[in-house]
């Protein structure tokens, strides 16, 4: 399976199944497009006709290029056959019932009242609640007991707003640190916060213990304050930005992300990302809103087209800023071509409902944070483990080959079949697809790869 | 190759031989929380 596209002056060929990426000139681009469906003589004739006014395109030259394409095919770097279907479920099968990552909902309550919140202002369609230390400790024990031979365990302190239960977060981290060595585990903690309650204690502790912090900021003040308001209706921008700046400054080189959501109000979201950069933040992530199509915040089909253009603007601007010596990182453009994930990971997807689960303040288990509150998706609890094994099996069956729509998609080994929650909310099935999400995902990967190609070409 | 430049990439077919340790980060855990992408995950294996 081969995907060809032109972007920012680059002609790019992706060989999906080998992971190979080729930067080609327009002649090779056309030859590759014809290669599988035309005899060499036909290709030569067609290319010479198309480029009749070009002195550098000779018959001999075209034949050499065709031979190069043939060599790449023989080397398994072009037109690599799609033979992974039978392997698609193997990593999850091999992993058995291993759980290695939990999203701990330590606070089903929030001090902001953002109308677009997928978690219904932190309540996840239920009662307000805080997780007790005892429930959190049992969740960590459940994780260690369920993680088999896995060494790295991930725990995200999530909400609602986790800082509203900060003392419990600190005690849970202390507990995990006190037992991880003897259990042969390494905890990696993430804190996702709206920033309202950040103080010096939070900064010191988070920067010591959290592998990553995710800080919610939607960008420009007028955009942020439009939806991210407190219960009196006041915007939160002026209160949180100085706190975020202080935390990030103190964090040094450790991971963090400024994480925004864009909606129908700002499909031109790069302005918000660049605003974050102006505030001194360099590690940026911005996501399309997840909500019902009739929600006023929902992106329209017209917005989706604007967003695609915005992704191109962002990629070009990032290349420019890097050259100028003040680079920014965008989460979805991070792609490591040489040391990225193996084929098993690429086939098996996000792990929701199998190796990754969300825990409610009451200790119930759900496939991921986006399913919390929907009773039909309750997997079990942290005392008894997974009792709804049929539900777990249905999540286990999600992979890059589980959806008919993905069969011929060039991007399936970059997204692994996509987000089960998005698919469910859009189609009614976790084995469905969320088409606008697919379109944006493909665009992001095209941009991310274009940036790699552009830099490689400029190095020589 | 005059007209084709191939970037250095991890060979996915080869990765089938020694991949699959399962130690890498859960895809959506780190920043996005609302979509799935595996391309930005780091491989945790020293010998790839």
Q: Which residue has the tokens 């327009």?
A: A26
1-48 in chain B: CB under 8 A from chain A: 1-13, 15-16, 18-20, 22-45, 48
What's the pLDDT score for residue B43? 86
Mean pLDDT for A281-301 is 91
> ipTM of the predicted structure?
0.92
Chain B positions touching A371 (Cβ under 8 A) are: none
Distance CA A368, CA A225 (A): 28
The neighbour count for residue A178, using CB atoms within 10 Å, is: 9
Strand ranges across the sheet with A2-7: A2-7, A10-15, A20-24, B4-6
Q: Are A147 and A100 in contact (CB under 8 A)?
A: yes
What's the pLDDT score for residue A268? 97
What's the pLDDT score for residue A251? 97
Counting residues of chain A whose pLDDT is more than 70, the rounded percentage is 100
Q: What is the pLDDT of residues A314-371, one digit of tens each?
A: 999 999 999 999 999 999 999 999 988 999 889 988 899 999 999 999 999 999 999 9
Supply the pTM of this predicted model. 0.95
Interface test with A, best of B36, B41, B42 (most A CBs within 10 A): B36
Pairwise pLDDT comparison (B48 vs A121), residue with the higher score? A121
Q: Are B22 and A98 in contact (CB under 8 A)?
A: yes
Cβ–Cβ below 8 Å for B31 and A214: yes
What's the pLDDT score for residue A456? 96
Q: What is the DSSP letter of A289?
A: -
> Quick one: tokens of A405?
């729509």
Q: Write b or e for each residue in A439-448: b if 16 or more Cβ atoms lie within 10 A of its Cβ, otherwise e.
A: ebbbbbbbbb
What's the pLDDT score for residue B45? 83
Q: What is the DSSP letter of A5?
A: E
Predicted confidence band of residue B30 (pLDDT cuts 50, 70, 90): low
Distance CA B16, CA A344 (A): 7
Mean pLDDT for B30-41 is 74
Distance CA A455, CA A8 (A): 12
Chain B positions touching A68 (Cβ under 8 A) are: 1-4
> Quick one: tokens of B31?
């920043």
Q: Where are the alpha helices (DSSP H) in A353-434?
A: 389-396, 412-415, 420-427
426-455 in chain A: CB under 8 A from chain B: 437, 441, 444-445, 448, 452-453
> Quick one: tokens of A360?
């409610």
Distance CA A9, CA A25 (A): 10
pLDDT higher than threshold 80 for residue A225: yes
Cβ–Cβ below 8 Å for B35 and A287: yes
């Amino acid at each position: 399976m081969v995907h060809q596209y032109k972007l920012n002056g680059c002609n790019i060929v992706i060989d999906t199944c080998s992971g190979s990426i080729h930067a080609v000139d327009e002649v090779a681009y056309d030859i590759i497009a014809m290669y599988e469906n035309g005899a060499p003589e036909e290709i030569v004739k067609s290319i010479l006709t198309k480029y009749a006014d070009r002195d550098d395109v000779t018959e001999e030259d075209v034949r050499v290029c065709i031979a190069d394409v043939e060599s790449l095919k023989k080397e398994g770097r072009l037109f690599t056959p799609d033979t992974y279907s039978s392997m698609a479920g193997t990593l999850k099968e091999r992993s058995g019932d291993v759980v290695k990552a939990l999203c701990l909902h330590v606070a089903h309550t929030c001090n902001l009242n953002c109308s677009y919140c997928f978690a219904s202002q932190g309540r996840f369609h239920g009662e307000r609640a805080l997780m007790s230390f005892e429930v959190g400790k049992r969740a960590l024990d459940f994780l260690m007991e369920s993680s088999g031979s896995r060494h790295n365990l991930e725990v995200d302190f999530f909400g609602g707003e986790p800082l509203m239960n900060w003392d419990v977060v600190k005690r849970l981290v202390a507990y995990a640190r006190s037992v991880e060595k003897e259990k042969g585990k390494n905890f990696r903690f993430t804190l996702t916060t709206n920033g309202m309650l950040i103080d010096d204690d939070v900064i010191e502790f988070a920067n010591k213990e959290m592998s990553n912090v995710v800080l919610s900021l939607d960008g420009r003040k007028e955009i942020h304050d439009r939806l991210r308001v407190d219960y009196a209706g006041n915007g939160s921008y002026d209160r949180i930005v100085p706190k975020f700046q202080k935390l990030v400054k103190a964090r040094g080189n450790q991971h963090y992300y400024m994480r925004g959501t864009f909606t129908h109000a700002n499909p031109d979201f790069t302005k918000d990302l660049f605003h974050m950069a102006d505030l001194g933040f360099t590690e940026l992530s911005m996501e399309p809103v997840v909500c019902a199509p009739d929600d006023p915040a929902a992106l329209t089909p017209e917005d989706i087209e604007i967003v695609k253009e915005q992704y191109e603007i962002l990629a070009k601007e990032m290349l420019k800023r890097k050259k100028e010596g003040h680079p920014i990182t965008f989460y979805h453009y991070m792609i490591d071509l040489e040391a990225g994930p193996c084929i098993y990971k690429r086939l098996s997807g996000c792990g929701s409902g199998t190796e990754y689960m969300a825990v409610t303040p009451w200790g119930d288990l759900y496939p991921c944070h986006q399913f919390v509150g929907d009773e039909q998706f309750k997997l079990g609890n942290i005392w008894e483990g997974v009792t709804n094994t049929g539900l777990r099996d249905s999540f286990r069956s999600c992979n890059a080959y589980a959806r008919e729509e993905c069969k011929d998609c060039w991007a399936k080994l970059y997204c692994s079949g996509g987000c089960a929650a998005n698919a469910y909310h859009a189609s009614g099935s976790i084995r469905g697809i969320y088409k606008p999400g697919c379109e944006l995902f493909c665009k992001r990967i095209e941009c991310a790869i274009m940036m790699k190609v552009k830099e490689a070409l400029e190095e020589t | 190759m005059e007209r084709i430049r191939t970037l250095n990439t991890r060979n996915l077919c080869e990765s089938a031989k020694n991949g699959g340790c399962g130690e890498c980060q859960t895809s959506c855990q780190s920043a996005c929380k609302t979509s799935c992408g595996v391309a930005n995950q780091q491989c945790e294996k020293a010998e790839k």
